[in-house]
Amino acid sequence: MNSQIIETDAVVIGSGPVGLFSVFELGLLDIKCEVVDILDKPGGQCAELYPDKPIYDIPGMPVVMGNELVELLIKQINPFKPNFHLSSMVDELEREGENLWKTKTDTGITFLSKVVVIAAGGGSFQPKKPPIKGISEYENKSVFYSIRDRKKFKGKNIVIIGGGDSALDWAITLNDDADSTTLIHRREEFRAAPETVNKVSSLISENKIKFHLGQVKSLNGKDGVLDNVVCSQGDNEIKIDCDTILP
């Protein structure tokens, strides 16, 4: 691994929407930026997890897809010519004298800058894999931790595990095209935006989304293709037919 030292005005750690907009704001002040991200493309979770998901809370935009938002942000910062260092993780940050910061990456680059913007969100992305025996056999065939193309889920029998914003948003978004949508959560209460909870509750009451209280204990299928999941409900277990899971 070759070492390299880059002197710049600012280092932005993270290239999600906040990081990209930071580049824009700094550019207006004539501050040159180097951007570091562990992913292989800019956009953060919008690009990696939710490129085909509608976003409703961007000022001035009633709705925008994740990938569209990233494209617009990239276009917005292009005049300032930031340099991107992708597939790189910052593993050291320390003071260098009185006026500089030294930022080191795992790819051997050392940045010297007066400004460091940490826009890393929840940190480097790693999928949260549920503790279900044999789940790795089904990954990328029947089990997906992100959705990059909604069309692939058309006509599927989908089980979504969780009760947070992401789980409920995907339940709403995929329900129109899926053959069936089932939501499994270990509690009756959801942990999402009130409007989202109201929408999902309405779809459940209209039998457009099925809801099961419990936890997924095991998967049944062959060669990575799911037939059903086993959901525990206290002392009872039920089988839910499905061919796709979003944990």
Residue 142 confidence (pLDDT) above 70: yes
Give the pLDDT confidence score for residue 145 in this predicted structure. 87
- pLDDT for res 123: 66
Q: Report angle CA 156, 247, 43 to the nearest 5 degrees.
A: 95
Q: How many residues does the chain have?
A: 247
pLDDT reported for residue 129: 82
State the average pLDDT over residues 151-172. 92
Cβ atoms of 124 and 37 within 8 Å: the answer is no
Q: What is the mean pLDDT of residues 87-115?
A: 95
Cβ pair 177, 153 in contact under 8 A: yes
pLDDT higher at 128 or 63: 63
What gap in Å lies between CA 46 and CA 121, rounded to an integer? Answer: 12
CATH of 135-246, one of 3.30.365.10, 3.30.70.20, 1.10.3720.10, 3.50.50.60: 3.50.50.60
Q: What DSSP line would sit under 191-229, residue for residue?
A: BS-HHHHHHHHHHHHTTSSEEEESEEEEEEEETTEEEEE
The pLDDT-based confidence of 89 (bands split at 50, 70, 90) is very high
154 token code pair: 């058309």
Residue 15 backbone zone (phi > 0: left; psi -120 to 50: alpha; other: beta): alpha
Residues facing residue 92 across a β-bridge = 104
Checking if the pLDDT of 133 tops 90, the result is: no
Alpha carbons 11 and 13: distance in angstroms, whole number: 6
Tell me how far apart the alpha carbons of residues 41 and 147 are, in angstroms, rounded to a whole number: 16
**Distance, CA of 27 to CA of 33 (rounded, Å):** 8
pLDDT at 134 over 70: yes
Can you give the pLDDT at residue 45? Answer: 85
Q: Is the pLDDT of residue 8 over 70?
A: yes
Start-to-end C-alpha separation, the chain: 37
Q: What is the pLDDT at residue 41?
A: 92
Q: pLDDT tens-digit profile of 191-211?
A: 988 989 999 999 999 999 999
pLDDT per position as a tens digit, 213-229 = 999 999 999 999 999 99
pLDDT band at 126 (very low <50, low <70, confident <90, very high): low
The predicted structure's pLDDT at residue 56: 86
Task: Check whether 122 has a pLDDT greater than 90.
Answer: no
What is d(CA 79, CA 27) in angstroms, rounded to the nearest whole number? 9
Grade residue 7 by pLDDT with cuts at 50, 70 and 90.
Answer: very high
Domain with CATH 3.50.50.60 in the chain: 4-118, 135-246
CATH architecture for segment(s) 4-118:
3-Layer(bba) Sandwich (3.50)
Ranges of beta strands (E only) in 31-179 are 33-36, 54-55, 64-65, 83-85, 90-96, 100-105, 109-113, 115-118, 157-161
